[in-house]
Homo-oligomer: A and B are copies of this chain.
């Protein structure tokens, strides 16, 4: 144990310096124009994995951004873990809201700020440095580890399924470990036991063939911006319930045990509100904040645009209005089914005089874990060793659509061992990672190998 902590302490400056190099690469997958830095980022990861002494390290092209794979499998009979992460990041828009440039990692008050700091480069890097700590620190790696680090998580992982199926033998494993989720608080180690799925759609409402003068035509021509607003408004009722017919049909009702478990979590509504920076919280009637985020589906407008949006005023009746709308899903909602229901209902809401186009952008299945497996006990033990207290089990509101896919392809349990803190600004300006947690994450993962070797998966 002292070997692990000692190696991390001795090499921490180098770890941090390398993390910053990783974060400087503009591997944005959500916008066109970043294919080359994204490819360079894959090579960066592969170089670091090779340096660990892994074999079969390759950057494998796909129809989109490439995959990085490699393995260290020198413990016949010991469990094999497949570690998944992603090196691609979200758009940095709106850039003007960043305190420092998003690709110039900046340390402030124990945090490192940069796009991808926590989602997911920082967490991928914890795994790389935990492996380095064992492999270079003298204590050795008591399990087998394979890595698959992709570059399209932020755009729906569209090439991952084909890749996993094609390389299923090479990547065969006993359990899958993903560090792309969060902790309830810095002193509250957490294991994820559920994720929401997603159905993300683009909607376009078109009225007149071109923009019109709002004076000469206003009142007699159906305005697509007014229509879009009215259609969006009709998607939820006064209780915050989604009105798409059949939307809740497949939702598993919360059990009394789940309600009790959630109620017992160390969660402060006040702190959450402060973190959010709004004047009040809100959502589906009859559920608490943690229930709303973890156990209930929802519908949000992610973006909306129509007409004249510049400075000043323009008396235009716009020709088009469009929105990006996503629904977060819970077990057992199916994203394709929900997208179909949404599309039919949304089109039915259109007044005559406008046409409606709905395009599914991406979808992902919700997921819930079986927390009685040994691998969950192994993770709990490692977290308790490093954080000094046992973890809590939480359901994340976010989506990692590929969790269900891994379970299915490898017939293996998936462990969500996440280290993002509340308010870390994933997907938003000023994304950050807590450097104390970064260090503890490396140490936890380094211990976790021993626990898995002892307990199995």
Q: Which residues in A have some Cβ–Cβ distance to B below 8 Å?
A: 30-32, 90-91, 93-94, 97, 155-156, 182, 196, 198, 200, 202, 207-223, 225-226, 228-230, 232-234, 236, 272, 276-284, 289, 292-293, 296-318, 321-324, 326, 328, 351-355, 361-362, 396-399, 422, 425-430
Partner of A182, one of B216, B301, B328: B216
CA distance A45 to B306 in the complex (A): 35
Do the beta carbons of B228 and A279 come within 8 Å of each other?
A: no
CA distance A302 to B91 in the complex (A): 28
A93 / chain B contacts, CB cutoff of 8 Å: 308, 310, 314
Do the beta carbons of A213 and B30 come within 8 Å of each other?
A: no
Do A305 and B302 contact each other (CB < 8 Å), given the known contacts A30-B313, A229-B229? no
Nearest residue, chain B, Cβ from A228? B229
Partner of A328, one of B97, B202, B218: B218
CA distance A161 to B209 in the complex (A): 37
Do the beta carbons of A209 and B301 come within 8 Å of each other?
A: no
Do the beta carbons of A282 and B428 come within 8 Å of each other?
A: no
A316 / chain B contacts, CB cutoff of 8 Å: 302-303, 427-428
Q: Which of A233, A314, A430 has the most CB of B within 10 A?
A: A314
Q: Which 3 A-B pairs rank lowest in CB-CB distance, beginning with the nearest? A: A209-B277, A215-B398, A233-B233
Do the beta carbons of B427 and A213 come within 8 Å of each other?
A: yes
Do the beta carbons of B310 and A91 come within 8 Å of each other?
A: yes
| Tally of this chain's copies | 2
| With A198-B215, A219-B292, A221-B283 already in contact, 7 other A-B pairs whose C-beta atoms are closer than 8 Å | A97-B211, A202-B313, A212-B428, A213-B398, A219-B397, A222-B281, A222-B282
A398 / chain B contacts, CB cutoff of 8 Å: 213, 215-216, 315
Do the beta carbons of B283 and A198 come within 8 Å of each other?
A: no
A277 / chain B contacts, CB cutoff of 8 Å: 208-210
Do the beta carbons of A352 and B302 come within 8 Å of each other?
A: no
Q: Which of A230, A232, A313 has the most CB of B within 10 A?
A: A313
A361 / chain B contacts, CB cutoff of 8 Å: 312-313
Do the beta carbons of A208 and B314 come within 8 Å of each other?
A: no
Do the beta carbons of B315 and A326 come within 8 Å of each other?
A: yes
Partner of A308, one of B228, B324, B362, B422: B324
A298 / chain B contacts, CB cutoff of 8 Å: 218-219
Do A312 and B355 contact each other (CB < 8 Å), given the known contacts A182-B216, A210-B428? no
Do A216 and B293 contact each other (CB < 8 Å), given the known contacts A31-B311, A97-B210? yes
Closest chain B CB from A396 CB (angstroms): 7
Do the beta carbons of B236 and A353 come within 8 Å of each other?
A: no
Nearest residue, chain B, Cβ from A236? B226
Do the beta carbons of B215 and A282 come within 8 Å of each other?
A: no
Closest chain B CB from A147 CB (angstroms): 24
Do the beta carbons of A399 and B302 come within 8 Å of each other?
A: no
Partner of A309, one of B303, B308, B314: B303
A289 / chain B contacts, CB cutoff of 8 Å: 220
Do the beta carbons of A279 and B210 come within 8 Å of each other?
A: no
Partner of A428, one of B211, B300, B429: B211
A97 / chain B contacts, CB cutoff of 8 Å: 210-211
Do the beta carbons of A278 and B209 come within 8 Å of each other?
A: yes
